[in-house]
Copies of this chain bind each other. A is one copy, B any other.
């Protein structure tokens, strides 16, 4: 079962074998090399051959450190976020903490697109993921939310940030030639509401609207929390 081997790797069960020649590398060096390739030339350029080449090693040798590419990707993901500050360590109340984390995550995805493309591909949870979930849940301590609501709130903000980052990522940069062709092919008067938005200078999926949705979502969570902590008053 490949998922099990992934688990063991993620949780660093590296009992080294007793016999055989000494290893020339470590799992960690392989993972770091993979990250360097992805950072330099993008996720599309990440291949076992490239990673091996970067390490000055035969391709097949990688398979003594890592069972396959999927597991390597899972390790990359768990390593990359290890140094980020945790949500509960940030200053302020729950809202300030979550806000700061969301902005940092958003910035991270813009800076390292490959992380976003890899995210959610992991076959098993790693230490960093669990650490992060625990921290994010802790942010809601004392808010009066139920356990299910805490988890839901965390998932919601996470889903929003990732979803918007993905839309932004896959959005091609504006190309005048393509815009010209589009204007030529499409009768935009058929889309009056869209036309009004475009005329107002708004660029859909540009990422400019990140704060708007974040604030609305946090407003909604705040309203729920206020309702919970407010004493049952007169009406109703």
Contact of A155 among B7, B127, B151, B205 (CB under 8 A): B205
How far does the Cβ of A29 sit from chain B's closest Cβ, in whole Å?
22
Which residue on chain B has the smallest CB distance to residue A7?
B181
Task: Tell me, yes or no, whether A4 is within 8 Å of chain B by CB.
Answer: yes
Q: Which of A17-25, A37-45, A46-54, A172-180 lies at the interface?
A: A172-180
How far does the Cβ of A98 sit from chain B's closest Cβ, in whole Å?
12
Q: Are B124 and A182 in contact (CB under 8 A)?
A: yes
Task: Give the number of copies in the complex.
Answer: 2
Which residue on chain B has the smallest CB distance to residue A175?
B3
1/0 contact string of A145-169 vs chain B (CB within 8 Å): 0111111110110111111101101
Task: Tell me, yes or no, whether A230 is within 8 Å of chain B by CB.
Answer: no
Q: A134-B194, A193-B137, A193-B141 are in contact. Are A204 and B120 (CB under 8 A)?
A: no
* 26 cross-chain CB contacts under 8 A: A3-B172, A4-B178, A7-B178, A7-B181, A11-B185, A121-B170, A141-B193, A146-B200, A147-B196, A147-B197, A148-B202, A151-B204, A152-B212, A152-B213, A155-B167, A155-B213, A156-B209, A159-B159, A162-B166, A163-B163, A166-B166, A213-B217, A216-B217, A216-B220, A217-B217, A217-B220
Contacts from A to B (Cβ < 8 Å) = 1, 3-4, 7-8, 11, 13, 120-125, 127, 130-131, 133-135, 137-138, 141, 146-153, 155-156, 158-164, 166-167, 169-172, 175, 177-178, 181-182, 185-186, 190-194, 196-197, 199-200, 202, 204-205, 208-209, 212-213, 215-221, 223-224
